[in-house]
Chain A
Amino acid sequence: MKYLLAIFFVITTNSYAANYKMNQFSRIVVHKIKKELAKFEAAFKESEAGTVILHESEAETAFYLKRMRLMIAPFAAFDIAEEFEVKVVPLVEFRWTRKNPAGWINYRR
C-alpha cells in the first residue's frame, strides 16, 4: 500500500490584487498546518493496510477496493490579507493505494 498525504487550500478573495500576497501566504499556511497535523501524522503512519476481500467467482475480472481517500478540514478559515478579504480554508487529504493481489493486473480494454 502506498500512502499519500495531500493538502488542499480553499481560498476566497474578492480582488485579483490579492495576488501579491500569495507567495507569503503559502509559507504561513504550511507552517500552521504542520503544527495541526502532528496528531494525524502519527495515526496515518501507524495505519495498516487492512484486509481486502476478493470475490471468489469464475469471472476473470473483479472490482477491488484499491484506493481510499479521506479529506479533513483541520481548522476553520483564517485571514491572510484582510484588506483584500483573502481567506484560506485548508483541507487535508490522506490517500491509501493498495497493490493489486498476486496474479491480477489493472484492467485495460
Chain B
Amino acid sequence: MKKIFLISLLLSANAFAGKIPSSWLSNTLDISESMKSIQNMKMAENAVDKIFQAGVMMLPENKDDKKSKWFLQSIMMEIGAEKEGNIGLLGAGGEAAVELVWTKAVDPNRGKKLNTNEEVVPTEVKISSEMNVSDIEKEVKPILDLAMASGKIKNRQFLKENLLKRAFEFQKVIRELENTPSFTKWYVYKYQLDLNVSGEGHVTPIFEVGMALRFKMEWWKIAKKTQTKNWEKSELSDNAKFVMGIAQDLETFEQVKLENDFKFNTVKIGLGVGVEGELVVAKGQANAIGSIFFLKNEKATNTKFKMDLPTLHQNFKRGLVKAGKIAQFFTARAPNKEEKGFKLNVIEMEFQYFMNGSLGLVTVEGISVIQLFVTRNVII
C-alpha cells in the first residue's frame, strides 16, 4: 500500500512589527471607535503589512524533487500579540493570536502521482447500540499502535488507559447530540478531541513545548443516504439546544463581508462540562473535553424554528460583530496573489471568551477557546 508524504512548514520568528488597538485584545464589546481613529488604523495597517511582507520573504523557492515521495505542501506562520497591542511574528511558545497558512497549488504532475497506486482500505464497521472502552480501542487501534511504535512513551499501559478513557467519555457526550437538527446556514460538521501526551504517558488537553505526542481524533457528522424520519421537538436535550443556540448566534456573521475572496466559513469552539453536567464553552484548555466545529453552507436557506434557543451569552453576538471587523481588517490586507507557488488561503484568528460574553484576540499569555477561520477554497 503506497502512502502519500507531504511536508508543511510552520514558520515562527521573534520579531516585533507594530501595534494594533489594545481594545481588539480586551473584553471591550465594540471596537468601532478604535477603528475610526486614523492614528490607530495607520499603526495597525503598518504592522500587519510588515508581517505579510515578512511572510512572503520567508517563503522558500519551489524546488521540489519530482522523484521524491515528499513535497512541500503548505507553510504556516503565527502572529503573537501582547495585551498592550504590540504584535509580531511569534517565536516558540505562547498562544498565537492569528495563524496564516499559505497553501501550495497542486502541481498537476505531482497530483497525478499522488493519486496513482493509492489503495483505499475498507474499514470494518460494527453496528451496535452500546459502546464500551474496548470498542473505542478497536476504533483508535491504528493511532495507538503507531504512538507505541514511536518509542516516545515510557509507560504504555498508562497512556492506553488514559487515552481510551478520555475518548470514551467524549464519544458518550457527542452521541447524545447525534439527532440535533440544523436550521441555519451554520451547522455542526465535526467534533474534535485534542490530547497531548508526555513521555510518562500523561494525557492532557494542554499543549506545552516538549510534549512527546499530540493526538487529534475527529468525529464527522454523517447522514443516511435516504432519510425519512421527521424531527421531533420533544427529542431535543438541553445540550442539543445549546449547540443549536450557538449555530443561531453565528448567523450574526451574515453582516460580515470580506474582501479578496475570503469566506468566513468555519468556527471552532472549545467545550467543557458545567457543574450539573451540562455542556458549556470551555474556560481554558485544562477543563476542555473537546471542540465543536461549525461549517457554513452559503447555499442553505434558513428554516423557521419555533422554539426559543439559548444564546451563549447576551453579549456574545456583539463579540461576534467585533470579531468580524477584525477579520475584515486582516483579509483586506492579505496578499492576494501567488508568491513562489504559494497563496495565503487560510487565516485563523484565535479568541479569548470573556466573562461578559465578548471576544478578544488572544494574547501570548492568554487562552484561546474560540477560533474563527476565513478561507479561500479550503475546508478545515
Contacts and interface: CB of A to CB of B under 8 A. Distances in A.
B131 A53 contact: yes
Contact of B15 (A14, A26, A53): A14
Contacts of A10: 10, 12, 92
A35 interface: no
B154 interface: no
B374 to A, nearest CB: 19
A13 B217 CA distance: 32
B178 A61 contact: yes
A55 B215 contact: no
A109 B297 contact: yes
Contact of A30 (B7, B10, B73, B143): B7
Nearest to A48: B142
Contacts of B3: 3-5, 41, 44-45
A58 B179 CA distance: 9
B222 A57 contact: no
Contacts of A87: 92
Interface in A65-103: 65-73, 87, 89, 91, 93-94, 96, 98-103
Interface in A1-43: 1-16, 19, 22-23, 26, 30, 34, 39-41, 43
Interface size class of A (residues with CB under 8 A): 35 or more
B87 to A, nearest CB: 16
Contact of A68 (B124, B150, B177, B218): B218
B67 interface: no
A44 to B, nearest CB: 6
A47 B229 CA distance: 38
Contacts of B224: 60-61, 103-104
Contact of B174 (A63, A101, A106): A63
Contacts of B73: 6
Contacts, number: 271
Contact of A16 (B13, B63, B129, B214): B13
B interface: dominant SS: mixed
B126 A105 contact: no
B71 to A, nearest CB: 9
Contact of B146 (A44, A54, A65): A44
A48 B221 contact: no
A86 B138 CA distance: 42
B112 to A, nearest CB: 16
Nearest to B132: A53
Interface stretch (B115-123, B281-289, B353-361): B115-123
Contact of A51 (B138, B179, B223, B228): B138
B219 A63 contact: yes
A91 B185 CA distance: 36
29 contacts: A1-B123, A2-B120, A6-B6, A7-B7, A12-B12, A22-B59, A50-B140, A50-B142, A51-B125, A51-B126, A52-B126, A55-B175, A56-B129, A57-B178, A60-B179, A61-B178, A63-B171, A63-B174, A64-B221, A68-B217, A69-B215, A69-B216, A72-B212, A103-B224, A103-B225, A104-B225, A105-B222, A106-B222, A107-B189
